[in-house]
Amino acid sequence: MKIQTLTNNLNIENLDYNSVNGGNKNSKYSNKCKVSILVLHNPYTKPFVMISADLLWFSEDIVKNVKTKAIQLYNTISNNIVFCASHTHGTPNPNKNILYGKPSDNFAEYIEKNIIVLLKEGLKCKKIPIELNSLNLNAPNVTISRRRNALQFNKFPLKAMQSLPNYNKLVDKSINLIEFKNLITKKIECIIIKYTCHPVADPHGVKGADYPGYLKKELANGTCNNIIFLQGFCGDIRPKVIKNNKTIKDKIIKIIIGDRFRKTKEGDAKFIANELKKSIEKNIYKKNKTFITGPMKSFSKKLKIKLENNLIAPRDIEFTIWIWDKTCFIFINAEVLSGYIFNNINELNIINVGYTNGMFGYLPTKKDIQEGGYEVDKSRITFGIENRIMKDTEIKIKDEIIKQIKIMTN
């Protein structure tokens, strides 16, 4: 197998834009947002193209237009192309049909042009013969679920699902690594890193790539220049920053409702990036990796999502499956809540990736829907979803994905 890989700065710090994190043209910029491409060539299929960028998400227009160009440039097929956003809140919303922050004028067009330029530059890169390996690591203890039932004082019902630390709910504690090592020089040419945590560690009003940006910058100093960062199913997972209850009022509130989150502060994003870097660098040169050869397959499908009162969601859920030997990527175009995380299917190493190929909105499980809360109700207004998603949506999506994986592996 051979790869072509390339990374560029998006240079959005030079644009006048409003970030979802509250940043404007006068805001501090924490670190540079980047875009990376990876083109994997193997003898048996059309090339696989992965595009990763430090963005809130990709708009459907960006995906459609850039995918059309990538198919032409690399002589590949639609299923073999994925767009993966880090979900960084220090960037603008590129989708004018989603009311999440103020959409920045011409931002989507700017991103589209920059990625197409990178794809054209990638064509000129030498095809590097590589050895392909996978490795799963234990992630540092820096994340936590943000959904917990607790008392509320300003409205009814008295107890409701709120954005509070939930120590009992499981989170994705793994870091998935895919390493592309040059067969000749033994140099690591590219790394895919999948991690699960909302990039909201920079303080409010700060623009930039948040912890994924700091992580890439640190790893570029000695490990690898081309980092493909994939965001997991982090719809309800965020940094573990807990309020230090010093005042009598805070201590009383803690007794009544438990811990609360504090505001993020300068240094939080660097801390998370450094903890991830230590885990990665400690293990990246170990030999207990799984060698990936083949076969390599892809599949993609769109599903209409039913809402209560016989309505249909304004956007489809699209899932894409890539199977590389015993490694299986599941890409979903949504803010997927952690209850959707797939583990062992047909003894495959599953890598769950959200924020891909556009944005549906939050995708809650049946249990999440029953419990309500921001991700189920309040966020729907932002994404133009009029009513709650039907409770049987979870089982339908999971069954469809599992069915396709079994077809692809049999």
Residues 204 and 22: their CA atoms lie apart, in Å, by: 6
User: Is the model's pLDDT at 154 over the cut of 90?
Assistant: no
Q: How much is the CA Rg of the chain, to the nearest whole Å?
A: 21
Which two tokens mark 287?
């030999």
Q: What average pLDDT does the segment 166-194 reach?
A: 95
Query: Does the structure show a pLDDT above 80 at 104?
Result: no
If pLDDT is split at 50, 70 and 90, which confidence band does 156 have?
Answer: confident
Least confident of 88-102, 137-151, 247-261, 263-277: 88-102
The pair of structure tokens assigned to 15 is 């644009």
Mean pLDDT of 350-376: 98
Condensed to tens digits (0 to 9), the pLDDT of residues 233-257 reads 999 999 999 999 999 999 999 999 9
Confidence at 171, pLDDT banded by 50, 70, 90: very high
Is the pLDDT at 185 greater than 80? The verdict is: yes
Q: What digits encode the pLDDT tens for the residues 26-53?
A: 899 999 999 999 999 999 999 999 999 9
What percent of the chain shows pLDDT beyond 70?
99
Query: pLDDT of 297-355, one tens digit each?
Result: 999 999 999 999 999 999 999 999 999 999 999 999 999 999 999 998 999 999 999 99
pLDDT of 222 reads 81
Residue 210 Cα distances to 77, 196, 218, 269, angstroms? 33, 14, 13, 6
At a CB cut-off of 8 Å and minimum separation 6, what does 197 contact?
142, 143, 211, 232, 234, 237, 238, 239, 272
pLDDT at 287 over 80: no
